Structure 1
Amino acid sequence: MAHIAWLGKKSPFCGNVTYGLSTTEALRRRGHQTSFIHFDNPGSPASSTTSLLANDPDVSLPYLVKSQVYTIPSPRAQRELRESLERLRPDLVHASLTLSPLDFRLPELCQQLGVPLVATFHPAFDAGLRNLTAGTQQLTYQLYAPALARYDRVIVFSELQADVLARLGVSEDRLAVIPNGVDQQLWAPPCSMPAAPRTDAIRCQVEERLGKERIFLYMGRVSTEKNVEALLKAWKLVNPPGCRLVIVGDGPLRTTLQNAHGNNSVIWWGYESDLETRVALMQAAEVFVLPSLVEGLSLALLEAMASGCACVATDAGADGEVLADGAGIVLSTQGVTTQLRTLLPVLRDQPVLTAELGQRARQRVMERYTLNRNIDALEQLYRGLLVTPVAA
């Protein structure tokens, strides 16, 4: 079994955090040793359980700025990272890239240490460049491509994403398409297995707060690229009777949108840190809507699919690929409000349709997007790097 030094994020909550924590936990369950290196100022409340000691499972690096999108490390972070890797002596370094200046220094550092280096490249994209946000994300890909070409392997979530990087100069033999995966036993329809007493209690609390109406759900950041305003505008125009829209998440646009679109049929749940509560929210929802302008491969979408929700998402990133061929309803990133204005009444009036779409979504996850399949592919990639010398 391998010793993996995982460089990633533990906060603030985002898809990158979920990916890192779930993947390292799954690797540990399979017998691998993982050392989690993350940005966390020593002495801050969140760092009380971490240290730079060699026998500590976590290593903290100091930072100046940290957000859901990017991280600016402190001047001494690179030195502390090098010292940590020299002390830990891992077989392989896996960087779940945090959009940090350190991302560009890692190839040289790992080459000096003689350690294979793997990256998971998360930034959202829209290969069609159909809007300003997509153009901004494309610049991120252009900026990162020369550095990614120096990593031993770069994991992306879809063939579309791999094509974007290949066109920007990253060698195809360094790219590995390994889609996100979710725990299909955790994220499951509510009737699929018996629940523990605490889980039942959480479900009851969630259902009490949501009421008896049919639930349409959005879960994620409330930010420009997620295009939540388009969903809210469509909901206000349709105002489907007997239904409620639940917005779970936080972000820079939350206050503005809540003030502009607050009404009795919209529940602003806010950021939810408790995993079991998030699971219960997905299980309570009939329809999950993701109106993003850009995406990578949304974990929230996969979680909703695994939970048996009827899923509606734009074709940004790989989300359209995930829902293709009847696993859900795919929208264009252009004119989302207009499309939803037409679609929401159909979903309201056709519960048989939403039930069928939920079953198909669950089946698609079971076929292609389970965490076990993800870890199988990851282990195979690791074995190839640890056995075969990496090309310079």
Structure 2
Amino acid sequence: MDHDGFFERNEGRYVVTHTQGPVWQKIRVALSSACQLLAACMRGPSPIVHVHSACGASFFRKSFLLALARAFGSKTVFHLHGAEFRQFATIETGPVGRRWIRHTLQRSSVVIALSESWAEFLCEFAPGSRVVVVPNSVPLPPVTARQPQEGNILFLGRAEQRKGTFDLLRAVQALKKTIPVVRLVIGGDGDLDAVARAAAELGISDNVDIAGWMGPEEKKRRMEEASVFCLPSYDEGLPMAMLEAMAMGLPIVVTPVGGIPEAITHGDNGMLVSPGQPARLATVLAQVLGDEELRSQLGTRARKTIEERFGTTVVLERISRLYRDLATQ
């Protein structure tokens, strides 16, 4: 959990606030995290409390911890993840919940957004919030000689409509006519049975490998085998799977949603296709799969982008500076 000594350098401690399992186990972990926070605040001096939050139960659980920390005079950092936060904050939550969300954002010492577009939304939704942009980070793996398989497309993420999974299946159906060996590998959870049914209905079951959830070693192997990474989402923050693929030097085809256009320049370090356009997606994938020089260029520039802007060392230093600034305020 401690990347390159980050916690040691910042005298930090990681506290688990949630776990998978039965309700009683989740309650036990949540109470334990609150008790650990209380103990740290009571020992003094008040620590800086940094939470990573998505939406739904995650938000309410973490916002309670922030409120508890502020009661003891702690500076607080709310770090937003999750592409569905806008819908959660503006549509799914009632008036009381929206007021609490705004209160949490406005009372936080700093709110971290993953992209400028998300920062703009947060400032509009909760005026007066101090919002800074710190992107997701990924480790930069050693350069290895990848051995991509012809026509191999890799999708990593939750298999669902929001991630564009079914658009990608339709694109593969179109690609099969000109690239018979095309193969789509789907790594992740979600409604995998629905994906299998859709592939069968489109007549591409033999071209789709529904691998399900992947551990680190399998994911690395699949990236080494892939000719291109594709994530045709309808909304995103700044997807980790995309950044990991870029770090591996994979050419990527993605959609210009969320923070993606701030990281990807079409034709330079990736290819952009508007969401919900499977025919156009198939055209761009065919272009990348059929041009080895283009794939090499895109992959090289993608890795360079990670090295310069999204590498773990670069991003964690920005967070360390943020902590130092808060400590002197």
Q: TM-score interval w.r.t. the shorter chain?
A: 0.7 to 0.9
Query: Partners of 2:243 and 2:65 in 1: how far apart?
Result: 30
Which residue does the alignment assign to 2:144?
Answer: 190
SS of 1:149's equivalent in the other structure is helix
Contact kept, 8 Å, 1:227 with 1:291, in 2: the verdict is yes
The CA deviation at 1:82 is: 3.4
Higher helix share: 2
- Where 2:112 maps in the other structure, the secondary structure is strand
More divergent stretch after superposition (353-362 vs 108-117): 108-117
Aligned residue pair count: 310
CA contact under 8 A between 1:217 and 1:246: conserved in structure 2?
A: yes
Q: What residue identity is the alignment partner of 1:39?
A: H
1:341 match: secondary structure: helix
Q: 1:123 deviation in Å?
A: 2.2
From 181, 187, 192, the counterpart of 1:242: 181
Name the one with the larger strand percent: 1
The answer on whether the counterparts of 2:253 and 2:285 sit within 8 Å (CA) in structure 1 is no
What SS does the aligned partner of 1:37 have? coil
Task: Report the equivalent of 1:230.
Answer: 167
Provide the residue aligned with 1:113 in structure 2.
72
CA contact (8 A) 2:172 2:182 kept: no
Structure 2's unaligned 5+ residue stretches are: none
Structure 1 residue 329 corresponds to structure 2 residue 266? no
Identity %: 27
Tell me what 2:102 maps to: 145
Give the structure 2 partner of residue 38 of structure 1: 17
| 8 Å Cα contact 1:215/1:286 also seen in 2 | yes
- What is the TM-score of this pair, normalised by structure 1? 0.71
1:276 deviation in Å? 2.2
The 8 Å contact of residues 283 and 308 in structure 1, kept in 2 or not, is answered as: no
TM-score (norm 2): 0.84
Contact 1:40 1:63 in 2 (8 A): no
Contact preservation (8 Å) 1:26, 1:375: no
SS in 2 for 1:35: coil
Which range moves more in the overlay, 299-308 or 100-109? 100-109
Deviations 1:293-321 (A, max 9, x none): 11000011001011111111111111122
Q: Which runs of 4+ in 1 moved over 4 A?
A: 62-65, 76-80, 134-138
Q: Secondary structure at the match of 1:191?
A: coil
State the match for 1:363 in structure 2: 304
Q: Work out whether residues 228 and 289 of structure 2, in 8 Å CA contact, stay in contact via their aligned partners in 1.
A: no
1:120-178 deviations in Å (ceiling 9; x for gaps): 1112169xxxxxxx756753699333321111111111111100111112425x21111
Alignment RMSD, CA only? Answer: 2.8
Aligned-partner Cα distance in 2 for 1:107–1:245? 43
Pair 1:104 & 2:63 matched: yes
- Distance in 1 (CA, whole Å) between partners of 2:264 and 2:80 is 22
